[in-house]
Amino acid sequence: MFAKTPNPPYFAVIFTSKSKGSDPAGYEHTAEAMVAGAKSQPGFLGYENTRSDDGVGIMVSYWSDLDSIRNWKANEDHRTAQAKGRSIWYEDYRVRIARVEREYSLAFYFQSPTDQAQRGKQGSDREAATSLQSSFFADMIKKPTAIENKKSPTIGALITGNDRMPLSQHDYTVFLQSPEKK
């Protein structure tokens, strides 16, 4: 489902396309071959892919460095697939290359700021999130204590002791209380 990437920084190639709907069998075969080919390239870290019913697809491949991306772009089999894509399969497409500077997940937001501060010592938000206890998380979401109406978007916060941390953007600020310490 999600690519297992290393700690940032690394690079993402974001390929967004709109298919013509032609030759789906040939497209699927070539797409599978391109994934297999990319996996064998030095510097390839993983990928994520989705396609909607209306033919819009997004493929994000992750790479360790720009030279690895250039080498994959120059790969002969990949160049052949690119040419077929332009002539047969795609109505339009965009390629974007970005440097990933930070990565975090939903679990990261349910840590105390003290735990979050450890990420600097551990190397990434994802590594810090691995220390999260699922039982603590389950208890946290069962105990809402206050909801404050706001007219402008605000950031919700979890309260763990005296620590506050962002959850996500909402029209309400929702506070949850930590489980009682025994």
pLDDT at 1: 80
Please tell me whether the overall predicted TM-score, pTM, comes out greater than 0.85 for this model: no
- Residue ranges of the chain assigned to CATH 3.30.70.100: 10-100
Task: Indicate the pLDDT class of residue 22, thresholds 50, 70 and 90.
Answer: confident
H or E segment and range at residue 121: helix 119-122
Q: Are 11 and 65 in contact (CB under 8 A)?
A: yes
What is the four-CA torsion angle of 39, 43, 45, 50, rounded to 10 degrees?
-60
Is the pLDDT assigned to residue 33 strictly greater than 50?
yes
DSSP state string for 66-91: HHHHHHHHH-HHHHHHHHHIIIIIEE
Is the pLDDT assigned to residue 157 strictly greater than 60?
no
Sequence-distant (≥ 6) Cβ neighbours of residue 106 within 8 angstroms: none
Q: Average of pLDDT values for 60-88? A: 96
67: Cα within 13 Å, side-chain hemisphere: 2
pLDDT at 105: 82
Structure tokens belonging to residue 181: 């310490």
Fold of the domain built from segment(s) 10-100? Alpha-Beta Plaits (3.30.70)
pLDDT in tens, 98-121: 999 998 888 766 666 666 566 555
Q: How many angstroms separate the CA atoms of 74 and 114, rounded? A: 46
pLDDT at 109: 67
